[in-house]
Copies of this chain bind each other. A is one copy, B any other.
């Protein structure tokens, strides 16, 4: 099998993405929302979160379980708690971000949570949506145990992602970061492509340094920047 690079226009990428998503059971509007997310990631230069993310979605154990409509579990004047209904986070958080924008109407501030959603994609996507409405946004998410502490051999913490957006006259100013030296999504892409990881970003299942993405998936990512990256 030849792994040649295929270049697509945005329109072709969108057709391909939406078609694939409809093919695995998403409605038109759902397919559009997810395709928007992965194409935006690709356009930002995050190839591993681009169209390849749809393969990760389809292969997820969560995808095989039934999904329900999102539901409001609790609502106050300034807060909303959603049950994500085992939907992919790229859908659930899109709706939650829209609801966040509306929720700020009464007091200018809102706290919104989503449970039972998985694979939410780039946090920057949601805070950017919100900041485009003139709001400051902070997003964080739980993640699986993926990161070993400095000097450790087993994953103990998640990647502790945090994204912040602040509106400005020249568009949102954004920070979007996790604490790992490498993205697990990129490890998955490298595994798919049969490529090695850079030195110094991952450990294998026995705690040994590795460049093998398959070993890294069963082992741990390392934090970036030593103890300061171990948030």
Task: Tell me the bound Cα distance from A224 to B225 in angstroms.
Answer: 6
Stoichiometry, copies per complex: 2
* Alpha-carbon distance between A162 and B175 when the two chains are bound, in angstroms: 12
The verdict on A228 contacting chain B, using a C-beta distance below 8 Å, is yes
In the bound complex, do residue A108 and residue B78 qualify as a contact, i.e. CB atoms below 8 Å apart? Answer: yes
Residues of B within 8 A of A224 (CB): 225-226, 228-229
- Whether B228 and A76, one on each chain, are in contact in the complex, defined by CB atoms closer than 8 angstroms, is no
B interface footprint on A197-231 (CB within 8 Å = 1, 0 otherwise) = 00000000000000000000000000011101101
Is A138 an interface position by the 8 A CB rule?
yes
- Inter-subunit contact B107/A76 (CB<8 Å): yes
Most chain B CB atoms below 10 A, which of A107, A162, A175: A107
B108-A109 in contact (CB<8A):
no
Contacts of A73 in B (CB 8 A): none
Q: How far is the CA of A162 from the CA of B179 in the complex (A)?
A: 14
Instruction: Name the one of B107, B138, B175, B226 contacting A231, with C-beta atoms under 8 angstroms.
Output: B175
How many angstroms from the CA of A19 to the CA of B162 in the assembled complex?
A: 42
Select one of B77, B226, B228 contacting A107, CB under 8 A. B77
Interface size class of A (residues with CB under 8 A): 20 to 34
Q: Considering the chains assembled together, what is the distance between the CA atoms of A177 and B229 in angstroms?
A: 9
| A window 25-81: CB within 8 A of B | 76-79
A residues sitting closer than 8 Å to B (CB atoms) are: 76-79, 107-109, 111, 138, 160, 162, 175, 177, 181, 224-226, 228-229, 231
Contacts A79-B108, A108-B111, A224-B229 aside, 18 further interface pairs with beta carbons under 8 A come to: A76-B107, A76-B108, A77-B107, A78-B108, A78-B109, A79-B107, A79-B109, A107-B107, A109-B109, A109-B111, A138-B138, A177-B228, A177-B231, A224-B226, A225-B226, A225-B228, A225-B229, A229-B229
Q: List 29 A-B contacts (CB under 8 A).
A: A76-B107, A76-B108, A77-B107, A78-B78, A78-B107, A78-B108, A78-B109, A79-B107, A79-B108, A107-B107, A108-B111, A109-B109, A109-B111, A138-B138, A160-B175, A175-B231, A177-B228, A177-B231, A181-B228, A224-B225, A224-B226, A224-B228, A224-B229, A225-B225, A225-B226, A225-B228, A225-B229, A228-B229, A229-B229
